[in-house]
Chains A and B, each alone.
Chain A
Amino acid sequence: MFGLELRDLTKAYGDQLAADQVSLSIPHGAFVCFLGPSGCGKTTVLRMIAGLETPTSGSILLNGKEITDQPANARRFGMVFQSLALFPHLSVGENIAFALRLRGEDPRRRKERVDELLELVRLPGLQSRAISQLSGGQRQRVAIARALAQEPPVFLLDEPFSALDAKLREEMQNELRTLQQRLKITTILVTHDQREAMTMADTIVVMGEGQIQQHGPPVDIYRRPVNRFVADFIGASNLLAVEVLDGHTVRYGAIPLRVAAACGPGGAAATLAIRPEDIILSRTAGGGANEVAGVISLVRDMGAYVEYRIDCQGQDILGVSTPRDWIGAAVGEIAHIRLPVESCQVLGR
């Protein structure tokens, strides 16, 4: 296969499994985000890919060739660290040329490559600037340029934007995505920021408890989470405890709800997931399917949208509405929510 392949990659620290049988194929030129909460094993997997950690078992293949036992300095995957790890005793140009110098490139070629990379990251003319004289965003760009200098087969980034303020982070995310699309380099980014993953990646790999919970295009992950963990971690979800009645019907309390996809054998306990923006709120009962009555318990006007909570049979259900569609309900009012059949997804418990 042309690209990177992880086969049953496992890393154990004593009896603690940091990564548990992680298997994944990353095609050449793809942008993949490893997404998950702290301690889920995403950085461990990235470090094993870079060669900075030795897997306990499993293998890593690059373009079909096994590289599991290759040390980091033989793999030469470009990596941007969380701390950026720019060398303070070297200038911007010397930092970028570090790998080229080790490789014995002649000074003229090195200079050309440094100039080219500084153009690429929009920092022309900063070759001789000290690292301490750069702003946070400039350091970020220098770290990216340095990692790309050796034209690595795989480009790895370990939460590189976590220390930046929101505006600069978004700017850097856009720049990185544009750069990756231009260079068509296989890129793996580790983040716990789902917005970052959703806006940048071709493929999101959701990790939890050392395992891949789900991987696929961002929209698929958002619209069709395969389990409770993914539904809960990606965006906001209402997770309702239900009982399966038949193939396409579940029971929430005493109310039968229809769902689009088949949901397993009757009598089984399951979780129904529905996104807040899919819920339709009205003052009056429409009499259709999947309608539940409840009492409004919270209303928050966030400007761009209105967030509300409605108490249905003892469970708070979260909904959001656009300001244009907001019905103007107040706390304490009885209202009706409709859960569209196509938006109701049943997950195993």
Chain B
Amino acid sequence: MTAAGVSIASTASGHGRMRDRWVLAGLLTGPGLYIAIMAIVPAFLMVQLSLAHREVGGLWSPGFELTQYRQLATPLFARIMGFSLLLALTGAAICVSLAFPAAYFITRMRRRAQVAWLVFLLGSLSLSEVLIVFAFQVLLSTSGTLASALNAVGLLAPGASLYPNFPAVLTCLVYLLLPYVILFFYPALSQLDPEMEQAAATMGASRVSTFVKVVLPMMRGQILTGVLLVVIFTFGAYLTPLVLGRPPQWTIAIHINNAAMGAGNLPLAAAYAVAVVAFMVALLALTRILSQRKAVEA
């Protein structure tokens, strides 16, 4: 190719790149604006509200005071956050421990069986959360199927109920999130090269040690993201703890609602919400730092 030819070609590819950039910018404008309007603006208003002065009768006036934030330094708030975190981490541990092996075994099935499982999981997601939570309430109540069965075999005292309590909240949250987490792990696991496991087998690894020493470490990033996914969902859970738990099992989301709607203290509710967002951002940053450190070590 001549020098002129090269120059024409590079100019053409330069124009192509410029056009691609404009197309990309155009495609990103819509979602960008949507996020800016629907998330950043309310977040800004929330911060503004948390610093506002509380008026009587559920009203507030603009200001810059830290009165509501002082209430975050109380044992009550620490207990609420501590419980929400405990619930989120326990839920994440159970969900990921059940979902990861389940997704792994689904990917090792024949194609037809895999499709059947995926349809079943997607089908279970079509049920509304409200319906599921109230179904759990019926199932766990004194006259419910499960309580009656346990009663019949003498494992539950007559007239006792399996809710409201922490296990009921946890069980229902795990049920709600499990299909999402299985579906989250499925694509990554189905792309895992089967020759990796076969290579481990030819080197003397059993199926269990292959899973523990090869599959799990290779999927570390996905597992961490799966844990985060459940923590974020569970931290904001509202209906499940409200229906299946007692006040000690209420998450921060319920307390935010109570502060806003029950006590009419909108600035306090906003301060709670800001604290939750800050906590989540810190958690994400910590996870990122940890995963980057691992990558550097590798």
Chain A interfacial positions (CB closer than 8 Å to B): 50-52, 71-79, 81-83, 85, 87-91, 98-99, 102-103, 130, 146-147, 149-150, 156
Instruction: Report how far A325 CA is from B60 CA in the complex, Å.
Output: 104
Chain A residues near B199: list those with CB within 8 A: 79, 81, 85, 87
Instruction: Report how far A292 CA is from B217 CA in the complex, Å.
Output: 69
Chain A residues near B202: list those with CB within 8 A: 50-52, 72-73, 75-79, 147, 156
Is B204 interfacial (CB-CB < 8 Å)? yes
The smallest C-beta distance from B82 to any residue of chain A, in angstroms, reads: 34
Interface size on B, residues (CB 8 A): 19
The smallest C-beta distance from B196 to any residue of chain A, in angstroms, reads: 5
Chain B residues near A75: list those with CB within 8 A: 202
Pair A71/B218 contact, Cβ less than 8 Å: no
Across the interface, name the chain A residue whose C-beta is closest to B219.
Answer: A89
Instruction: Report how far A146 CA is from B201 CA in the complex, Å.
Output: 13
Query: Which B272-298 residues have C-beta < 8 A from chain A?
Result: 298
**Which of A82, A89, A99 is within 8 Å of B203, CB to CB?**
A99
Across the interface, name the chain A residue whose C-beta is closest to B197.
Answer: A85
Is B220 interfacial (CB-CB < 8 Å)? yes
Pair B203/A88 contact, Cβ less than 8 Å: no
**Which of A50, A76, A156 is within 8 Å of B204, CB to CB?**
A76
Chain B residues near A130: list those with CB within 8 A: 298
Across the interface, name the chain B residue whose C-beta is closest to A50.
Answer: B202
Chain B residues near A73: list those with CB within 8 A: 201-206
Pair B204/A87 contact, Cβ less than 8 Å: no
Q: What 5 A-B pairs come out closest when comparing CB atoms?
A: A99-B203, A85-B199, A85-B195, A72-B201, A79-B202
B interface secondary structure, majority: helix
Question: What total count of A-B pairs have CB within 8 Å?
Answer: 71
The smallest C-beta distance from B154 to any residue of chain A, in angstroms, reads: 45
The smallest C-beta distance from A158 to any residue of chain B, in angstroms, reads: 9
Is B209 interfacial (CB-CB < 8 Å)? yes
Query: Which B189-216 residues have C-beta < 8 A from chain A?
Result: 193, 195-196, 198-206, 209, 213-214
Instruction: Report how far A75 CA is from B198 CA in the complex, Å.
Output: 13
Pair B203/A87 contact, Cβ less than 8 Å: no
Chain B residues near A76: list those with CB within 8 A: 202-204
Instruction: Report how far A99 CA is from B210 CA in the complex, Å.
Output: 11
The interface centre, meaning the residue of A73, A88, A99, A103 with most chain B CB atoms within 10 A of its CB, is: A73
Instruction: Report how far A147 CA is from B200 CA in the complex, Å.
Output: 10
Chain B residues near A89: list those with CB within 8 A: 217-218, 220, 298
Across the interface, name the chain B residue whose C-beta is closest to A88.
Answer: B218
Pair A72/B214 contact, Cβ less than 8 Å: no
Contact with A along B208-252 (1 / 0, CB 8 A): 010001100110100000000000000000000000000000000
Pair A150/B201 contact, Cβ less than 8 Å: no
The interface centre, meaning the residue of B196, B198, B199, B205 with most chain A CB atoms within 10 A of its CB, is: B199
Contact A150 to B204, CB < 8 A, known contacts A87-B218, A89-B218:
yes
**Which of B204, B206, B218 is within 8 Å of A99, CB to CB?**
B204
Instruction: Report how far A103 CA is from B203 CA in the complex, Å.
Output: 9
Chain A residues near B193: list those with CB within 8 A: 83, 85
Instruction: Report how far A77 CA is from B200 CA in the complex, Å.
Output: 11
Instruction: Report how far A146 CA is from B204 CA in the complex, Å.
Output: 12
What would be 23 A-B contacts, judged by CB atoms less than 8 Å apart?
A: A50-B202, A52-B201, A52-B202, A72-B198, A73-B201, A73-B206, A76-B204, A79-B199, A79-B202, A81-B195, A81-B199, A83-B193, A85-B193, A85-B195, A87-B196, A87-B199, A88-B218, A89-B298, A102-B205, A102-B209, A103-B204, A149-B203, A150-B203
Pair B298/A102 contact, Cβ less than 8 Å: no
The smallest C-beta distance from A305 to any residue of chain B, in angstroms, reads: 32
The smallest C-beta distance from A186 to any residue of chain B, in angstroms, reads: 15
The smallest C-beta distance from A187 to any residue of chain B, in angstroms, reads: 14
Query: Which B162-209 residues have C-beta < 8 A from chain A?
Result: 193, 195-196, 198-206, 209
Instruction: Report how far A72 CA is from B204 CA in the complex, Å.
Output: 7
Instruction: Report how far A150 CA is from B195 CA in the complex, Å.
Output: 18
Instruction: Report how far A68 CA is from B156 CA in the complex, Å.
Output: 53
Instruction: Report how far A88 CA is from B199 CA in the complex, Å.
Output: 13
The smallest C-beta distance from B151 to any residue of chain A, in angstroms, reads: 47
Pair B203/A81 contact, Cβ less than 8 Å: no
Instruction: Report how far A77 CA is from B202 CA in the complex, Å.
Output: 6
